[in-house]
Every structure is written in structure tokens, then in C-alpha cells.
């Protein structure tokens, strides 16, 4: 699976974070709506369930930035630098490549800008029974994001099987026509493609590196390496609107953030798994979908690149 990148330009605020698993799920919806459920199952879901994903995505990153590897946060930094290291989220691509070669990280290499700004938008609850707004006092806050002044585009990395290249790009173009994430009917998540697929093979060096750095929000599988550094969080997802269910909430998922580092030679090109429906949904919802001959999965794969990280201490 070769490594490519492409860039997008947000043209409105977005109400859903640009995370790899969310983007993968939306491409599945684009496949089902444009090419049918059988094509989705044959070309994407069945290979993913067999641990042979036809494509693996990164999160979307601001400009040419990449995530700071978590292993480097664990180094023994001087006390006066610890807050700076903790706040830093990104490094420039050329810095990331130096780290891949085993060169040391300098504080000046850190990108302190987040790449986007968040704000809270007050929203009205809507009754499912009456399809009208709720009673007085039923407002709730919803976080949204916009690009900051430091960059006007986002970069996404992708690996795919050669035969899936054409289909992948067609799905991306379909998604650009509809929008990304929640509230697209209200104009959120609108974006345009800024570039075509560009080779990112330079990030796949050195091939003999002892570490893998994951560029995605993902969930490891039981077969993945366990020796490393990562930051986890709990994700609360929902099913798409097409199923017509009352309970649209998925079970909470423990996910790892981009920048997770694992030790293993040869380095991994991707990690993670497709979370099956039985783990993803309540028993009642899963049974209701099964009766309708519907099966779903959460594509929680992570795109990884090799690195010879210069660590003061080993992994233990």
C-alpha cells in the first residue's frame, strides 16, 4: 500500500472533528448511496472485517503539519520546557522527517498554533415526536471549528491498494459535493478539494526503522504491538440517519489520538481494526438491524509511518 496525500480547503465551519475513522465512515456512506450496499460490502466492509482494508486514512492536519510523536513528550525535558511540550500539538513536515531519521527534537521545531479555532454555538433541541423545538430552556451548546489565520488548507494522508485508487478518489469527490460531518444541511462541513493525490513516499523512510508513528485516530487490534506511547480518549459516536432508529448512539469507544508510537521491526504500515456491530451497538439495536439484514462496522484503522525516534530512554 503506497502512501499519498491530498489537501482540502474548508469553506465553512465544521461541527465534527476531522478524524480518520469519521472520514472513513463517511466514505462508506458515499459508496452505499452512489454505488449500492453490495458494492460497499464487497469492496470495503468485507476486506476490512478480514483485516485487509482497501484504504487507510490519517486525520486531517493543518497545512503541512504532522502530529508530535507521543514518545517525545515522555522524554525528560527541563522543567521550564514541560508546559511548552505539553501544549504543543504539531510539528512541520520537514521536522517530522528529521525525527524519522533519528535527529533530535528542538523546542523551536514545535508548532504552537492549533491550526483551527473552536467556539460554542447554542442549539435548540428538536422533539422526535413533533419535529418541533423543545420547551423553554432546552438550548444546548455545540462546539464548532474554523481555520485560523495560519493556514487555509488541511492535509490528509492515505494508503490504498492500487486497484482501489480510482474508487477512493471518486468517493472523496462525492463527499466534497455533500460536506463533512454533522449539520451539513445547515451549511457546516463544506469543503473543496485543493489538490489531487500526491505521492508521500518520502514519509515511508527509513524502511528499517524500529518505531511506527500513527497519524490517525484509531483503535488497536489484539494483534497490534503493545510496547509504546499513546494518548487515549473516549469517543461517543452515532449512527447515520438512514437507518430510521430511535436509539442512534453507539457504545463509547476507547480511541488513540494521532502521534501514538509503537516499537516493532519491521515498522507497521497500518494498525487498528474494524469494530464489529456486536461491540458497537446495544443488543436491541444490533438485533433490529440484523432482522433487516443490515450489518455495520466502525472502521478504526490507523495509518502508520516508520521512524528512528531519538529517545533518551527506551520503551522499558
pLDDT at 214: 97
Q: Is the pLDDT of residue 313 over 50?
A: no
- What is the b/e burial string over 181-205, where b = at least 16 CB atoms within 10 angstroms of the residue's CB? bbbbeeebbbbeeeeeeeebeebbe
Which residue, among 128, 132, 93, 92, has the nearest Cα to 110 in the 3D structure?
92
Q: Tens digit of pLDDT for each residue in 78-92?
A: 888 888 888 889 999
pLDDT at 111: 84
Residue 242 lies in a domain: yes
Residue 98's domain comprises: 2-307
Distances (CA, A) of 80 to 83, 86, 106, 112, 167: 7, 11, 14, 16, 50
Report H helices in 146-264.
165-178
Q: Which residues contact 116 (CB under 8 A, 6 or more apart)?
A: 62, 145, 146, 147, 148
Q: Tens digit of pLDDT for each residue in 26-40?
A: 999 999 999 998 999
Which residue, among 41, 10, 4, 3, has the nearest Cα to 296 in the 3D structure?
41
Residue 299 lies in a domain: yes
Residue 201 lies in a domain: yes
pLDDT at 30: 93
Residue 315 lies in a domain: no
What whole-number distance in Å separates Cα of residue 301 and Cα of residue 49? 11
Q: If pLDDT is split at 50, 70 and 90, which confidence band does 296 have?
A: confident
pLDDT at 76: 83
pTM: 0.89
Count, residues in the chain: 316
Q: Is the pLDDT of residue 158 over 90?
A: yes
Q: What is the DSSP letter of 252?
A: P
pLDDT, greater one: 20 or 86? 20
Residue 316 lies in a domain: no
Contact 234, 250 (CB under 8 A): no
Q: Which residues contact 82 (CB under 8 A, 6 or more apart)?
A: none
Neighbours of 127 (CB within 10 A): 11
Least confident stretch, 59-73, 82-96, 106-120, 130-144: 130-144
Residue 78 lies in a domain: yes
pLDDT at 9: 94
Share of residues in the chain with pLDDT > 70 (%): 89
Q: Tens digit of pLDDT for each residue in 247-271?
A: 678 899 999 999 999 998 778 899 9
Q: How many domains does the chain have?
A: 1
| Burial (CB count <10 Å: 0-12, 13-18, 19+), residue 174 | middle
Amino acid at each position: 500500500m503506497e502512501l499519498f496525500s491530498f489537501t482540502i480547503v474548508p469553506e465553512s465551519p465544521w461541527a465534527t472533528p476531522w478524524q480518520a475513522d469519521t472520514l472513513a465512515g463517511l466514505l462508506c456512506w458515499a459508496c452505499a448511496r452512489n454505488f449500492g450496499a453490495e458494492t460497499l460490502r464487497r469492496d470495503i466492509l468485507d476486506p476490512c472485517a478480514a483485516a485487509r482494508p482497501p484504504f487507510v486514512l490519517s486525520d486531517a492536519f493543518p497545512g503541512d503539519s504532522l502530529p508530535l510523536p507521543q514518545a517525545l513528550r515522555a522524554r525528560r525535558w527541563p522543567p521550564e520546557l514541560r508546559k511548552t511540550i505539553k501544549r504543543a500539538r504539531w510539528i512541520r513536515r520537514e521536522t517530522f522527517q528529521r525525527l524519522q531519521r533519528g535527529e533530535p527534537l528542538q523546542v523551536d521545531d514545535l508548532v504552537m498554533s492549533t491550526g483551527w479555532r473552536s467556539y460554542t454555538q447554542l442549539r435548540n433541541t428538536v422533539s422526535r415526536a413533533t419535529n418541533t423545538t423543545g420547551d423553554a430552556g432546552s438550548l444546548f451548546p455545540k462546539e464548532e471549528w474554523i481555520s485560523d489565520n495560519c493556514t487555509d488548507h488541511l492535509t490528509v494522508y492515505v494508503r490504498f491498494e492500487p486497484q482501489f485508487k480510482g474508487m477512493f478518489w471518486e468517493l472523496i469527490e462525492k463527499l466534497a459535493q455533500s460536506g463533512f460531518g454533522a449539520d451539513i444541511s445547515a451549511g457546516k462541513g463544506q469543503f473543496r478539494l485543493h489538490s489531487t493525490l500526491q505521492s508521500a513516499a518520502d514519509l515511508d523512510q527509513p524502511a528499517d526503522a524500529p518505531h511506527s508513528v500513527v497519524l490517525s485516530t484509531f483503535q488497536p487490534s489484539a494483534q497490534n504491538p503493545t510496547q509504546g506511547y499513546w494518548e487515549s480518549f473516549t469517543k461517543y459516536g452515532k449512527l447515520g440517519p438512514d437507518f430510521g432508529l430511535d436509539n442512534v448512539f453507539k457504545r463509547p469507544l476507547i480511541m488513540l489520538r494521532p502521534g501514538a508510537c509503537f516499537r516493532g521491526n519491521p515498522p507497521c504500515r497500518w494498525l487498528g481494526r474494524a469494530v464489529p456491530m456486536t461491540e458497537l451497538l446495544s443488543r436491541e439495536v444490533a438485533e433490529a438491524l440484523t432482522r433487516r439484514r443490515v450489518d455495520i462496522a466502525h472502521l478504526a484503522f490507523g495509518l502508520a509511518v516508520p521512524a528512528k525516534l531519538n529517545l533518551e530512554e527506551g520503551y522499558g
